[in-house]
Structure 1
Amino acid sequence: MTETLVRIDAISRRFGEVRALEHVSLEIRQGEFFALLGPSGCGKTTLLRILAGFEHPDSGSVTLDGADLLAVPPHRRPVNLMFQSYALFPHMSVAKNIAYGLERERLPKAEIRERVDAVLTTVGLTGLARRRPNQLSGGQRQRVALARAIVKRPRLLLLDEPLSALDKKVRAEMQLELKRLQHEVGITFVVVTHDQEEAMSLADRIAVLSEGRVRQIDAPVPLYERPADLFVADFIGANNLVTGVAAADGLHVPGVGVLPCPVPADAVGAGATLVIRPERVRLAADGSSAGGLAGVVRDVTFFGGTTRVAVQVTGLDRPLLATVSGATTVAVGEQTRLAWSVGDAMLLGPG
C-alpha cells in the first residue's frame, strides 16, 4: 500500500459558537488525488487552510512525513495553495507569474528559466509565455495558476474550488487536464469542492464532510454504491430514499406495501430507510408485468444520453426517480410500474 504523506488526527476548530471542525481524523497517501467534499459550511475549507498554515486548530495534530506540520510557518511548508480566484498578477506575463515564487527564493536565473520552460510545456502554454492574464481564457488562466503552484515542486498541492469559475465545457476539459497533470508531476493533490461530479471524476479517494465531521472516506465507486449513512446517500448523486420498518422480506411502508431489499437479521423490526439509485429502477407500462409499484408519471427530463422519469406512487410523500438509457416512450400523466432487483437496494438506519 502507498505510504501515508499527511496524517490529520483529531483536529478541532471553532469560531465563537460555530463548530467548523470536530475531531477530524484522516490520512492522505503519497501521490494520490484526495478530495474534501461537502456542502457550504461543512469545514472543508477550514481544513485546507489549516494544512496551508493560514489557520491553526484548537486541538489535534497534523504531520507530514511524520514531522509536525503545525510547527512550521506557512512560507516554509512544502505545501502550495492554488486559490479559487487564481490570484494572478495582471501586470506580469505568464512566464513572470510562474517564475515569481522561484525568484522570491532567489534561485539562479538559469534554473528558474529551465523550470518555467518545463512547466509551460507540461500545462500546454509554451506559446503563451509572453501574454498577460487579461489576454487569456478562463481555462488558460487556470493553467497558469496551476503552473505557478507546481513549479515550486511542493510535496502537497491544495486546490480550493479550482474549477468553479469555468463554464461547463471548459470545466470538463480541465478535469481531465488536472488528472493528467497530477499523474505526470507526481505531486499529492488535495482538492476542496462542493461539486460531487467533480470530486468523483478527479479523486482517488474522497472524504465527505458534514457539520465539521467526516461522514465517510472511500474511493468514488464504493462511496457511490455503498454510502455509510443517510447524509452521504442523499448528498452523493441522486437517490430514492423511502422510510419504513425493516422486516425479513423487505421494508414495510404503510400504505404502500413491502419494498424489496436485503435486510440484515439485526435490523428486523427497526425503523430504516431504503436506498435505491434511479439507474437501478426499471420502468414498465402498467399491466405489462406483475409486481412492482404502480404510479403516475409526473415528470420526464431528457438529458441526451439518458432520461429521468419521476413517478408518483400512492402513499409516498415524494416521487420515485428512474433513469433510463436514451429517450423513453412514457409521458406525463401515464400509468407505469417501477421495479428493481433486491440486491440493487440497501437499507440504512435512521442515524
Structure 2
Amino acid sequence: MIRLTDLTIRFPGFTLDHISLHVRRGEFFALMGSTGSGKTLVLESVAGLTKPSGGTVRVGGRDVTRLPPEERNVSLVYQDHALFPHLTVLQNVMYGQRYHGIAKEEGRRQARELLDTLGLSRLENRRPEHLSGGEKQRTALARALACGPDVILLDEPLSSLDPQFRGELRRTLKHVHETTGTTFLMVTHDFADAMILAERGAVIKDGRLHQQDTVANIFRRPATPFTASFVGMTNVFPARYAQGCCTFAGHAFEGLPELPAWQTGFAALRPEDVFVGSAGDFPEGWRILRGTVERVEREGFTWTAVVHCGDQTLTALVDRHMVLSRGLESGSTVTLGFAGEHLHHMPEND
C-alpha cells in the first residue's frame, strides 16, 4: 500500500537518508524512533506536506511523489489533534468530506456511524474545549476515517495522553484497524505502543533505518546495538568470538547455541532474561556470572539490580522478595544466571 524507495529529504543539519520502506495493504505498521530521528518527516512525505529531495513515494500503486496532499487519499492525525475549536465534534468529523465529494446527508450518516464505533455519540454536539485528551484523539481519528482514506497516518497518537487513557485508545485503534481493514502507519517513540498495535515495524535513528521486520523480531532479535537499546535490551557488550567461545563482561562462555562467524561484535541480554540468585538456584546448563551490586533501583512496582561483572555492568530485573529477603544492596556479592538461547549476537558494524 505504501512504498518508499530511496526517500531523501535534506535540511540544514539533518538528512533523511535514502529511506526504503514497504507497508502492506491493510496492515498496522509502526515506525519507531527517538525525538529528532526523522520519523515525522517520513509521515509528512507520505502525506505530501514535505517535498522530498529524492526518491519516490507510492500509495496504492500510484506514484504520488509530486502530487498535492488532497490528491493522495491519505489522512494524517497529529498528536495535538488539530481540531477546529469553533466546531462541534460532529462538525469536525464531517469537515473534510466536502472535499472528497461526499454528499452532506450521506456524510452525516457515515460520521454518526463512526462516532458510535468510537464511543463518541453522546458528545457529538460538544466543542473540543469540553473534551478530554482521549476524546479529542478519538474525534481526530473519526475525522480522518470519515473521508474514506486508503491510509491513516498517526503521529505519536498516544504520547499526550494520561496513562489511564492510553490503554483505552490502544484498544480503540486496534478495534478500528480490525473492523475497517484500513492501512495504518504510526510513528512513535514508545516501543510498548508498537508491541501492542503493530504487526511489523521499523526503527529509525538520525535519518537512517536500522531495522525493518516483524515487531516481535525487532524485540527479540535487534539488528544493531542502537535498536537493542531502543527496545529495552539494555545489556549490550563488546564481545569476542573464537573457537566456539563467546567472551564478554570478563567471562568466557563455551557451547552456546548458534554462535556467529565473526570474530568481534556485540552480545546482548534483556534484563528480564538475567536472574539473580545463588549458583544452585539455576537450571542445569544455564550460564553463570559473578559480580558486585552497584545499586538497586525501583521504578513503580519494578526493581532492577545494576551489577558490576568484570569490566562491564549488567542490569537484571529482580522481585521485591529478592530485594527484601536477601538484603540485596549496594556492595552485595551476587551470582547472575541466564539461559544460553537468550543471548543475542550482533555484528560490529551498525
TM-score relative to the length of structure 1: 0.90
Tell me what 1:299 maps to.
295
Q: Could you tell me which runs of 5 or more consecutive residues in structure 2 were left unpaired when the two chains were aligned.
A: none
1:262 Cα deviation (Å)?
4.0
Q: 1:129 to 1:286 in 2, by over 3 A?
A: same
1:337 Cα deviation (Å)?
0.3
CA contact under 8 A between 2:248 and 2:267: conserved in structure 1? no
Tell me, yes or no, if structure 1 residue 222 matches structure 2 residue 231. Answer: no
Paired with 1:24 and 1:336, the residues of 2 have a C-alpha distance of: 45
Q: Could you tell me which runs of 5 or more consecutive residues in structure 1 were left unpaired when the two chains were aligned.
A: none
Alignment of 1:1-351 (within 5 A): 5-19=1-15, 21-105=16-100, 107-253=102-248, 256-259=250-253, 261-262=256-257, 264=259, 266-267=261-262, 270-285=263-278, 292-302=288-298, 306-316=302-312, 319-324=313-318, 327-328=321-322, 329-330=325-326, 331-333=328-330, 334-351=332-349
1:286 Cα deviation (Å)?
6.6
SS at match of 1:292: strand
CA contact under 8 A between 1:229 and 1:349: conserved in structure 2? yes
CA contact under 8 A between 2:251 and 2:310: conserved in structure 1? no
1:304 Cα deviation (Å)?
6.5
Q: Deviations over 1:295-332 (max 9, x none)?
A: 2223334557653222222422xx31112456424421
1:51 Cα deviation (Å)?
0.3
Paired with 1:264 and 1:314, the residues of 2 have a C-alpha distance of: 22
CA contact under 8 A between 1:249 and 1:258: conserved in structure 2? no
1:180 Cα deviation (Å)?
1.1
CA contact under 8 A between 2:233 and 2:269: conserved in structure 1? no
CA contact under 8 A between 1:12 and 1:23: conserved in structure 2? yes
CA contact under 8 A between 1:203 and 1:220: conserved in structure 2? yes
Q: 1:11 to 1:104 in 2, by over 3 A?
A: closer
Paired with 1:170 and 1:60, the residues of 2 have a C-alpha distance of: 38
SS at match of 2:84: coil
Paired with 2:260 and 2:346, the residues of 1 have a C-alpha distance of: 13
Paired with 1:74 and 1:103, the residues of 2 have a C-alpha distance of: 15
AA at the equivalent of 1:119: L
Moved more, 224-233 or 245-254: 245-254
1:109 Cα deviation (Å)?
2.4
Q: Deviations over 1:209-231 (max 9, x none)?
A: 11222111111211111111222
CA contact under 8 A between 1:286 and 1:294: conserved in structure 2? no
Q: 1:292 to 1:24 in 2, by over 3 A?
A: same
Moved more, 108-117 or 28-37: 108-117
CA RMSD of aligned residues (A): 2.2
Paired with 1:321 and 1:69, the residues of 2 have a C-alpha distance of: 47
TM-score relative to the length of structure 2: 0.90
CA contact under 8 A between 2:100 and 2:147: conserved in structure 1? no
